[in-house]
Amino acid sequence: MAETTIALYSHDSVGLGHARRNRAIAYALAEHLPALTGTAVRGLLIAGHPDAGRDPLPPGWDWMILPGLTRRGEGYAPRRLGTDAAALRDLRSATIDAALAALRPDLLLIDRHPFGIDGELLPVLHNQRSRGGAVVLGLREVLDAPRVAAQEWERLGGAAHVARHLDAVWIYGDEHVYDPRRTGELPRPLAERATATGYLGRGRPAARPSAAGRPPVTPAPPYVLTVLGGGSDGADLAHLAVTAELPAGHRHLLITGPQMASEEIAELQQLADERTTVVRSAPDVPELIAGAAAVACMGGYNTVAELLVTDTPALVVPRSRRRLEQPRRALALAAVGALETREIAALTAPDLTGWWHRAVTTVTPRDGIDLDGLTVVPQLAAALLEAAAPTPAEVSIHAV
């Protein structure tokens, strides 16, 4: 049986949001693409954070974890390796290029950053296209304030220059909720290649299994839930959550995220009363969201996508540092009634107490939002692969 090879790249300098999106897509491609193309499917997920490789993948798929780069001020620096950033970028670039030269993927899907960190993907893209492989840029629905997004495209050489390296752009959102083509975040040369897929909501894969001998963290209902994504910038919301008063008869589970500092977690555990459990991570967050009476969370893409497939009331308290992505997402979804949102600077423990007491008596229907991106992406991939496939005449010429 013929075989289709897919490669997915995420840079992962901060957190695991990019890798988690690509992992969800990998499962969707593994499930749906064989029936659409008539071929077996294998794949490689290229990631830059060691924690990404702990999450399972479909049969025939694997992780390739690069030496890590992380944010340092306005630039990047090695996460651990004792070298300078330029040398590590070149090492990462050569590693990616060698892997793709060996695997010859039919499709390379890049999450968010078309040229990778400091241009590390530029030679990779040239070689991928010279081999006849397709290249797609996958984008979350919100990038940043339009002015900031425009500056980022210009730093890459302009939108037209970026578009010349791509066959398509997939926007992982509902265009009726938020459309970066209309806000100006996605300039015309890229917008002309773009398709909105719907949120990557329904059909997301299960998270990593719990450690051997450790059962999933599931409090007895009814309970409220606080979830902070990666956790590197969730301490303010966490402190409000552990000091707010819980609704009568409810327990509280606070999931800090794997990147919250250990000393901050220890402090939260000391502040928590007997009805609140503080854990660093949980293997079953989507199920916990679905089972909660109410959720307080930050506004990262994956957390929101997991939330939108439920009817659990949610208060989203977005991160406002570095980017305006999370506040813009929260405001857009609040405008269609999918959630409530407050800025962390304007939120107090009594405010959160009042919200929880009110929210646990309600539900939030979200039936009007397109959450089927994980069904649409395989269809788009199949169409792109079919368009790129050589014709019988080309096959004959190549054989001669």
Residue 37 and residue 144 share a domain? yes
Mean pLDDT along residues 380-387 = 96
Burial of 194 (0-12, 13-18, 19+ CB in 10 A): buried
Structure-token pair, residue 293: 């009476």
Strands 314-316 and 340-341, sheet pairing? parallel
Mean pLDDT along residues 139-144 = 98
Residue 105 and residue 232 share a domain? no
Note whether residue 207 is domain-resident. no
Residue 114 and residue 10 share a domain? yes
Residue 27 and residue 156 share a domain? yes
Query: CA–CA separation, 33 vs 16, rounded Å?
Result: 25
User: Where is average pLDDT lowest: 5-9, 214-218, 293-297, 333-337?
Assistant: 214-218
Query: CA–CA separation, 317 vs 347, rounded Å?
Result: 9
Q: Which pLDDT tens digit goes with each residue over 30-41?
A: 999 999 999 999
On the question of pLDDT at 394 being above 90, the answer is: no
User: Where is average pLDDT lowest: 5-9, 180-184, 218-222, 393-397?
Assistant: 393-397
Mean pLDDT along residues 322-337 = 96
Note whether residue 83 is domain-resident. yes
Mean pLDDT along residues 331-355 = 98
Query: CA–CA separation, 115 vs 166, rounded Å?
Result: 11
Q: Which pLDDT tens digit goes with each residue over 300-318?
A: 999 999 999 999 999 999 9
Mean pLDDT along residues 19-44 = 97
Residue 260 and residue 157 share a domain? no
Percent residues over pLDDT 90 in the chain: 86
Query: CA–CA separation, 164 vs 152, rounded Å?
Result: 16
Note whether residue 214 is domain-resident. no
| Higher per-residue confidence, 216 vs 43 | 43
On the question of pLDDT at 226 being above 50, the answer is: yes
User: If you write DSSP's letter for every residue of 237-300 in order, what string do you get?
Assistant: HHHHHHHSPPPTT-EEEEE--TTS-HHHHHHHHHH--TTEEEES--TTHHHHHHH-SEEEE---
Residue 303 and residue 198 share a domain? no
Instruction: Report residue 83: phi and psi, to 5°.
Output: -150, 175
Residue 245 and residue 163 share a domain? no
| Higher per-residue confidence, 209 vs 291 | 291
Q: Which pLDDT tens digit goes with each residue over 239-268?
A: 999 999 999 999 999 999 988 999 999 999
Structure-token pair, residue 30: 């593994």
Answer whether 48's CB lies under 8 Å from 69's CB: yes
Output the pTM of the full model: 0.94
Residue 389 and residue 353 share a domain? no
Mean pLDDT along residues 158-164 = 98
Torsion sign (Cα): 324, 55, 217, 293: positive
Query: CA–CA separation, 376 vs 378, rounded Å?
Result: 6
Residue 255 and residue 152 share a domain? no
pLDDT, mean over the chain: 93
Note whether residue 322 is domain-resident. yes
Answer whether 11's CB lies under 8 Å from 113's CB: yes
106-to-43, 114, 128, 156 alpha-carbon distances in Å: 10, 17, 9, 25
User: If you write DSSP's letter for every residue of 339-361 in order, what string do you get?
Assistant: -EE--GGG--HHHHHHHHHHHTT
| Higher per-residue confidence, 74 vs 20 | 20
Number of domains the chain contains: 2
Residue 32 and residue 149 share a domain? yes
Answer whether 230's CB lies under 8 Å from 49's CB: no
pLDDT band for position 1 (cuts 50, 70, 90): low
Residue 75 and residue 10 share a domain? yes
Note whether residue 212 is domain-resident. no
Domain range for residue 247? 223-359
On the question of pLDDT at 115 being above 70, the answer is: yes
- Residue 82 is predicted with a pLDDT of 92
Mean pLDDT along residues 69-75 = 85
- Residue 14 is predicted with a pLDDT of 82
Note whether residue 30 is domain-resident. yes
Q: Provide the edge-to-edge strand list for the sheet that holds 134-140.
A: 61-65, 40-47, 3-9, 107-111, 134-140, 168-172, 194-196
On the question of pLDDT at 214 being above 60, the answer is: no
- Residue 213 is predicted with a pLDDT of 46
Residue 307 and residue 240 share a domain? yes
On the question of pLDDT at 95 being above 90, the answer is: yes
Burial of 349 (0-12, 13-18, 19+ CB in 10 A): middle
- Residue 390 is predicted with a pLDDT of 65
On the question of pLDDT at 393 being above 50, the answer is: no
Structure-token pair, residue 287: 């199920």
The SS3 call for residue 338 is: coil
On the question of pLDDT at 68 being above 60, the answer is: yes
Q: What is the CATH number of the domain that holds 257?
A: 3.40.50.2000
Helix H or strand E segment including 98:
helix 85-103
Percent residues over pLDDT 70 in the chain: 94
On the question of pLDDT at 24 being above 90, the answer is: yes
Note whether residue 366 is domain-resident. no
On the question of pLDDT at 84 being above 60, the answer is: yes
Note whether residue 110 is domain-resident. yes
